[in-house]
Each structure stands twice: as C-alpha cells, then as structure tokens.
Amino acid sequence: MTATPTAPGSTPTDTIPDDVFTLPAGVKQVIPILDFGSQYVQLIARRVRDAGVYSMLLGPQVTVEQLKKLNPTGIILSGGPSSVYDENAPKPDPRLFELCVPVLGICYGMQVGCELLGAEVKNAASREYGRAELRVNEKSDLFKGVPDHTSVWMSHGDQVNTLPDEFVATATTPTCPFAAVRHKDKPFYGVQFHPEVTHTPHGGDILSNFLFSACGCRGDWTMADFMESESKRIKELVGDDHVILGLSGGVDSSVVAAMLAKSIGKQLTCIFVDNGLLRKGERDLVEQTFRGHFDLDLRVIDAEKQFLDDLAGIEDPQEKRTRIGHRFIDVFKDTAAQIKAEFEDQNTQIKYLAQGTLYPDVIESGHGYAGTAANIKLHHNVGGLPEQLGFDLIEPLRSLFKDEVRALGTVLGLPENMVWRHPFPGPGLAVRVLGEVTKPQLDLVREADEILLEEIVSNGLYRKTAQVFAVLLPVKAVGVMGDGRTHEQVVAIRAVESQDFMTADWARIPFDVLATISNRIINEVRGVNRVCYDISSKPPATIEWE
C-alpha cells in the first residue's frame, strides 16, 4: 500500500514531530497503531474508528515517552514485510510493556511483540498465504463469541517457533501452532492472522474484543461529538480574528465551511479560486450552491491567467503541484489584504487560513506520522505549500478519513448531493492533462469529462463509483474518420471504486455504457480519435495519472 514508513530491513532514524502527539479536540481515548509497513495498516485504523474508537498511525520509532503523551488506551502493532531477525528490522521501543496498556500484535506485530517477551521467531517450514482454518483453544479474551473453528486470512513466511511458559497459545492452524497467543502476566495478545481484512469473517469480533474487553474502550468517538469539540476549539483559538477558507466546492472544504460558519459565523470569508483548471460549469455550480445554501461571505477570484502562466512549459507532476500550491497561497494573500482593507476595525487580523486537508492527504504527502513515509504525491495543500505561508493553518479534518468527513457533512445538515460529490483534486485538470498544460488542452479534457459525467449520471452509476474522470494523454494515435486519416489525441477514462481513496479498484462499468461514452467523446470532441479505459487498481497505480 501507500505509506511504508520503513523499507524492509531499515530502521527509521527520524524522530516524530511533536505536533503529531496533539489529539483532536474531544478525543478521550486513543489507540495508536505502530506501522511496521503493513499494506493493511490504514484498514486497521479504519476498523478501530468504525468501532467508535479514535486511532492514529505512528512510525515504529515512537518512544515510550511520546506514547505516554497520548495516554493510550491500548496499542496495536501492525504487520510488515520485514523479518524480526533481519539486521535492521524495525522494532518498537523495548520498554513498550512498561506502559502497562493492552497491546495487540498482528502478524509481524505479534512476532516482534513475542520476541520482545522472550519467544523465538523463525522462518516457517510451511508458509501460509490466504485462507487458513483456525482452531480456537481458549474462548476467553480475544475469542469471546468466536466459533471453535473459523476461517482466517494469513500472509506470513515466519512464525513464532518457541514460546516461553509465560504465554498461552490461544489458537492454532494445521501448520501454525501459535496462530494466536496471550501472555499470562502482561496484557499482550498476538494474532498471526489478519483480523482487519474482510476475509477473516470474525475479525471484527476479535478486534472488538480487544478494544472493548481488553482495553476497556467506550466507543464514544462520534462525528457529532467531534463537531462540537472541534467547533469549540476553533472558536477559542480564533478569538476576535478573521479566517479565510479556500473553498473548492468539494466535500472537504464544504464541510469545513459549514463547520466554521456555525462556530465563527461572520468572522469567516470563503475564497473560491477560478484557477482555469476547473471542470466545465464548476464555477457557476459552486457559486449557486453556496450562495443558495449558506449565509456566507463568498468571494470568487478569477486567477486563470496567473495559474496558466505559472504552468507554462511545466511537465513534471510534482513541479505542477508545487507551483499550483504556491499560486493558491499568493491568491489567498492578495485576497486577504483586500478583505482586511474593508474592515472597519483595522486591528482585526486575518491570521488563519482554513483548508479541507484530510488524513490521507497528510499521510500520502509523507508529512504524516513519522517523517519517513514514502512520498507518493505532494498534495498541493500539504507538501506543496510554501515555507513562508503568512497564515496559521486551521485544518479541522486533518485527522479524518473521507467517509468520516461525509458522516460529518451529514451531521452538519449539508445536502446529499454535496456530501456525495466525487472528489476533485485541488490542482484540478492540470494533473489530468498529462505533460504541458495549455488552455486548448484543458478545453479538450473539459469537453470529454463533461460527456463522461453525463453518461455516468444518466446511467445511475454516480453513487456506485467513487471517482470518475477523463485524462488527456500526450500522445497521438492514428485513426480513420469519414474515409480520411486522422492523427489525434487519446483520452483515458478513469472510474474507480474506493472507500477511503487510499486503495481503489477500477469500476466494472458495463460495456454498453463504455461504448456510448467512447462513441460520444470521439464524435463530439474535436481532436480526439481514441478512448481507452484504465483497468489499473491502486496500488500499484494511483487514482490520478499524475
């Protein structure tokens, strides 16, 4: 998956920045998850949150002192690609058990926890990948309510080979005698299988048993509570100052706008930037929706020329994002100066810039939890920001996943079509015109995208897909139209299903709908003679092409 904090066999040396240890307002119980590089780590975090318990990801180098700052209710050690006996295998702080809180080790996490408590881990004679039949020996603790025989999902080549007497083997599989263990004196539980994946049918029960029975979690992490506490925190933080918000009309910034409108009312100005990289009709739609729904101070800024000038001649996706991120900030600064000039009281400061940054943006930009996460994409609003911002940031959604933001939007009473809008990236069509971005190329992709979305909506596929868009490829293909040769561009269609946009699969759009889309694009968009359908999942591809 995306954020691998450590390459196999390397220990991260970076220390985790302090601000990571400040919990969102109102969070009283937290389950930190130490990420040893598992492809399922996001899934573990989401499962815990779905159970109503706040969870967060941390690099494995987190120290006991840092963990103490969080006052964790329990800790989960994730799986990972390393072997504990590798020279540089990532290891948790050896004093982990001094915290005296329940620890659940999953796969590598179990191996590393057991090793710390005196067990020996070795390469297994028979590896297990995929389904395995688990026999439960002890139906207490993690296995309360779980049948004696159940399927589990395995993915390991190593296993615990010898277990000290202080442990009990609570479950086995035909080739794994220690498929689940618990320590007799310390609150440590290990499972060699993956309870977080749906292929482990009772995985949810096992995780719930850990959270509610072993850790004593209350399950009181709800969006309604989050909204109350976060609104209160922002109100106190802002005081008499003024806040500007970059409003894109997407779910995230719309939710932030609604939340801020509620907590600070007239101290908020929303700025919608027409950067020339928007979809067809987007500007009007955003203006209408917001002017219609909220009593907000909304400014629409036309900055197409500046953005396109900045992008002239630029082909590198990271460079595009950086330039776009910088230009956004310049536009926000100029607009803030104009707004300030209008204030009656010239002592009022515009100190804050609010953004709809989400947890996946933070993690994928490598700014997440360790400073060592793989940098997949510099999201323009996180990694792409200039160093001297000139504002303090207010990012109320920084700790939330997309589906939590949608739940929050519903709690805030946003209309359904706004809550369920497909995401649209801040750099917009600049990352969907591959290679150099020019106005004619943008117009071309706009036309294709409009047709695509029309067909998706009219065929009832909008809510069944997570994101659908057209990409203009910088290649030309030969075709034949009206008996003549054509040499024109290629449009790729991307349609994905995804819950949290960290992983995604290509959507199985019916062939006849694809046929109509292709036919319409080729006929109606001048300059395109070929349409391709992208059938790559994420990982290994990403959702956007750049």
Ligand X SMILES: Nc1ncnc2c1ncn2[C@@H]1O[C@H](COP(=O)(O)OP(=O)(O)OP(=O)(O)O)[C@@H](O)[C@H]1O
Does the protein bind ligand X through residue 247 (CB under 6 A)?
yes
Tell me the C-alpha distance between 516 and 536, whole Å. 21
Among residues 171 and 382, whose Cβ is nearest to ligand X? 382
**What is the distance between the alpha carbons of residues 280 and 423, in angstroms, rounded to a whole number?**
15
In the residue annotation, 196 being an active-site residue is answered as yes
Is position 379 an interface residue for ligand XMP (rule: CB under 6 A)? yes
If binding is defined by CB under 6 A, does position 73 make contact with ligand X?
no
**Which of Mg ion, ligand X, ligand XMP, none does residue 356 bind (CB under 5 to 8 Å by kind)?**
ligand X
Cα separation, 484 vs 261, whole angstroms: 58
Whole-number minimum distance, CB 8 to ligand GLN, in Å? 8
In one-letter notation, the amino acid at residue 276 is: G
Q: Is the peptide bond before 540 cis (omega within 30 degrees of 0)?
A: yes
252 is an annotated ligand-binding site residue: yes
Choose, from 114, 128, 176, 196, the residue flagged as catalytic: 196
482 Rama class: left (phi>0) / alpha (psi -120 to 50) / beta = left
Spell out a b/e string for 209-228, using b for 16 or more CB atoms within 10 Å of the CB, else e.
bbbbebbebeeebebebbbe
Write each residue from 422 to 461 as x if it is in contact with ligand X (CB under 6 A), else as -, in one continuous string. -xxxx-----------------------------------
Q: How far is the CB of 417 from Mg ion (least distance, A)?
A: 15
Pair 433, 445: CB distance under 8 Å: yes
Work out which of 246, 317, 396, 409 binds ligand X, going by CB under 6 A: 246
> Which residues between 140 and 179 bind ligand GLN (CB under 6 A)?
155-158
Report the alpha-carbon distance of residue 223 to residue 401 in Å, rounded. 12
Task: Rule CB under 6 A: choose which of 2, 55, 83, 322 binds ligand GLN.
Answer: 83
Q: Where are the beta strands (DSSP E) in 247-330?
A: 268-274, 297-302
Active site (annotated) includes residue 107? yes
Find the part of the chain contacting ligand GLN (CB under 6 A) among 43-51, 74-82, 208-216, 232-240. 74-82
Is residue 251 within the footprint of ligand X (CB under 6 A)?
yes
355 touches ligand X (CB under 6 A): yes
**Is position 542 an interface residue for ligand XMP (rule: CB under 6 A)?**
yes
Nearest approach in angstroms of CB 210 to ligand GLN is 17
Candidates 250, 435, 479, 527; binder of ligand X (CB under 6 A) is 250
Nearest to 446 by CA among 233, 260, 227, 281: 281
Cross-sheet strand order for the sheet of 242-246: 297-302, 268-274, 242-246, 350-354, 392-394
Residue 254 among known ligand-binding residues: yes
> Which of ligand X, ligand XMP, ligand GLN, none does residue 247 bind to, with CB < 5 to 8 Å depending on kind?
ligand X
| Residue 405 annotated in ligand binding | no
CA distance 80 to 97: 20
Instruction: Return the residues of window 476-495 that contact ligand GLN according to CB under 6 A.
Output: none
Q: How many CB atoms lie within 10 A of CB 345?
A: 6
What is d(CA 198, CA 374) in angstroms, rounded to the nearest whole number?
26
Known catalytic residues are 107, 194, 196
Give the residues lining the site for ligand X (CB under 6 A).
246-248, 250-253, 271-273, 275, 355-356, 381, 423-426
